[in-house]
Structure 1
Amino acid sequence: MKNHITFVKVRYSETDQMGFVHHSNYAQYLEIARLEWLEQLGISYKWMEENGVMLPVYNLNTTFKKSALFDDCLKIETSLRNIPTVRIMFDYKVYNQNEELLTVASTELIFMNTKTGRPMRCPKYILEKL
């Protein structure tokens, strides 16, 4: 299964008064990593939506081992946990520029038909690229 590495620079506005990245920003970092993972496969999320497929987040788990700081360059390793069905599950590891493991996370998303609002199976064009 495909893995991908994404780099994100921590901006000042993402930190709290102590200079630590606020926990709410990790959901955005993981989304950036997922979108790049799809792009690596040759799939545009915008194109998916225009063709009737959405991927809302069903579950998000994070374990913070060490704080990310302002100006850190984060490396996010994204991996697909298993072949998707109606659900697609990703695992993430977030490192700083010193290769220190900061955060371990996972997301579970549901393939959703944009017209019916109902869950659907993973589109064949994604399965073929895996």
Structure 2
Amino acid sequence: MYSGYYRKPHYYETDQMGIVHHSNYIRWFEEARVDLLDYLELSYQEMEKAGLIVPVLEVSCQYKGMVYYGDIVRIDTFVAKYNGSRLDFSYKVINEKDQLVTTGTSKHCFLEQQSHDFIQLKKSYPKFHQIFANYLDHSSTNP
């Protein structure tokens, strides 16, 4: 079971008050998403090598608390939606006190790398489709 992505803010990510600047959370979401895909043994590098790209269509972030320099946070990343052509993630940033400090989402699609045509993963990349299908089956039975 995936245990989340742990992150300690860097000094340059903070403002004068030692609070993590809001723009960094979007980067953290990407780091956490890459970490989850690596855990699933489906890295961006492997997908790109196979001729597939997964661009970001939309991203959102809701701030509920502050993260300070020196804190350690866990970013829980979930596949919120997968239908073969779309892949949506949700994120929860939890501080060391087990408090929810930020939530977010990102929406993606699958494109053929050269033509940038939309593709159905099940048809064009069945191995990759099966990894997502297995993950969703497993996560729905083990919340």
**TM-score normalised by length of structure 2:** 0.84
Paired residue secondary structure (2:81): coil
8 Å CA contact retained: 2:84, 2:129 = no
- Number of the residue aligned with 1:125: 127
CA RMSD across the alignment? 1.5
For 1:87-98, list aligned pairs within 5 A: 87-98=86-97
Identity of aligned residues (%): 30
Paired residue secondary structure (1:79): strand
- Divergent runs of 4+, >4 A: none
**TM-score normalised by length of structure 1:** 0.92
Greater CA radius of gyration, 1 or 2? 2
Paired residue secondary structure (1:46): helix
Query: Which has the larger helix fraction?
Result: 2
> Which gives a bigger RCO, structure 1 or 2 (Cα 8 Å, sep 6+)?
1
- Number of the residue aligned with 2:80: 81
- Number of the residue aligned with 2:99: 100
* Residue deviations 1:25-51 (CA, integer Å, cap 9, x gap): 111111111111111111121111111
- The alignment of Structure 1 onto Structure 2 pairs a total of residues equal to 129
Paired residue secondary structure (1:29): helix
Distance 1:114 1:27 in 2: 24
Give 5+ residue unaligned stretches, structure 2.
135-143
8 Å CA contact retained: 1:4, 1:37 = no
Give 5+ residue unaligned stretches, structure 1.
none
